[in-house]
Amino acid sequence: MEEKHLSDIIEKELLGESVFKDEGKLSLDYVPPYLPHREEELKTLTRAFRPILENPGKISPRIIIRGELGTGKTVLSKRFGLDFEKIATQRGVNLKYVHVNCREEGSFYNILKNILTRHFKRKGLPSRGYSSQELLSFLVETLEKNNFYVVLALDELEALVGKEGSDPLFRLTRFYEDKPPNTPQRISLICIFREPECEEIFKLIDRSTLSTLGFYTIKLEKYKAYQLKDILNQRVKEAFKENSVLPETVELIADLAGRYGDARFAIELLWLAGKYADKIHSTKVQPEHVRVAQSYAHPTIKIEDLKLTSLHEKFLLLAIARLLKSSESAYLPMGEVEKEYKVVCEEFNEKPRAHTQTWKYLKNLSQIGLVSTKVSGKGQRGKTTLIGLSLPSEKLEAEILKLLEKS
């Protein structure tokens, strides 16, 4: 009987509607066909590696990509690599793009062994017995035999250099120095470093090796909120059913992730908000679902912070929570909040504070991180302050009422 009951639950859940069309488009491993706001960087990569197509084997281009988490280093390299490999094939150049994560692979030896076995199907390599230099020779030998060129992207390279120093890069960049002059150079490098660790890591790389890597350097800046909005809208089209994600939802996610400039966090919030919408059987992904997702994905704001707020700051938060709970909006105009704040004060038999003091309360709550504020933009008459929440409105309302009951 219990088994039948469990089966019914699963069957019912599978039959339920979902806001998603293709969740895979929100995976960190997914490489979209177009990268908003990274066009110039793609052009730089193309200029750097163009000689491979024009004069294969004459030089082996190298480039550094650096940037903080969520700035798109990995997806930029992969998008370029996949497209470049395709174009090379069309032009009759046997080229393979190989992307490895140095932190996951653990050692230069493992990187080389896995390239040989996974990408070039080299068999019979023992788990021990060879040095990394011998494996590198095997790789070059395999490339020569098959007339192949490789663009090798070393992601999170700071992990490998931190463990083995500059030796792996030295071997990769100096391999052809003692070879005959016309020997084709078949290994080109994309070296991906995470900020801010890379500054310390660069000190571990000898100057001559570092100079061979850094002729081209791409430094990715943090995304602005408007840029994240474009990225999110692209993913919404690919991953969600039509009209299932409200524009206000995308705007809120862009604003929240814009504080960090982190596209990964933005996409994760979008995915979690969609999962929450499915959980409560909502056909629309709403701003409140984002606030719930934010509390799970990036819990920088703790309920304990509420205890540090003053009485009227609690009233103000309660007013914002109640208004947003009954709205599909991501933000509220200051005027609406002040009206509701006065209603809350009346409910608790307290005299509301004047506008200037209310504004000070709001600024303090914003500094703590309990609310977010911004100035209204296009589509709204005049300039007004818009107020949003960093916590789920229903949860916030319940917690404030508990604290007010105790006081």
- Distance between CA 343 and CA 330 in Å, rounded? 21
Tell me what percent of the residues of the chain surpass a pLDDT of 70. 91
pLDDT tens per residue, range 302-338: 666 788 889 999 999 999 999 998 888 889 999 999 9
CA quadruple 63, 68, 71, 77: dihedral, nearest 10: 30
pLDDT tens per residue, range 97-144: 999 999 889 899 999 998 998 888 777 665 566 788 888 988 999 999
- Distance between CA 38 and CA 234 in Å, rounded? 14
User: Would you identify the CATH topology of the domain 304-406?
Assistant: Arc Repressor Mutant, subunit A (1.10.10)
**35-49 mean pLDDT:** 95
pLDDT given at position 196: 82
- Distance between CA 48 and CA 62 in Å, rounded? 7
- Distance between CA 42 and CA 44 in Å, rounded? 5
Architecture of domain 39-220: 3-Layer(aba) Sandwich (3.40)
Min mean pLDDT across 266-275, 375-384, 388-397 is at 375-384
Angle at 192 between CA 177 and CA 137, to 5 degrees: 35
Q: Where are the domains of the chain?
A: 39-220, 224-297, 304-406
Contacts of 279 (CB under 8 A, 6+ apart): none
- Distance between CA 211 and CA 404 in Å, rounded? 63
Assess contact for 216 and 64: CB atoms under 8 A.
Answer: yes
Output phi, psi for 71, to 5 deg. -90, 0
Closest CA to 388 of 255, 260, 239: 255
- pTM to 2 decimals? 0.82
- Distance between CA 214 and CA 329 in Å, rounded? 47
Domain 224-297: assigned CATH number: 1.10.8.60
Instruction: Answer with the residue of higher pLDDT: 76 or 376.
Output: 76
Banded pLDDT at 1 (limits 50, 70, 90): very low
- Distance between CA 332 and CA 362 in Å, rounded? 13
Place of tokens 């504070």: 353
Banded pLDDT at 85 (limits 50, 70, 90): very high
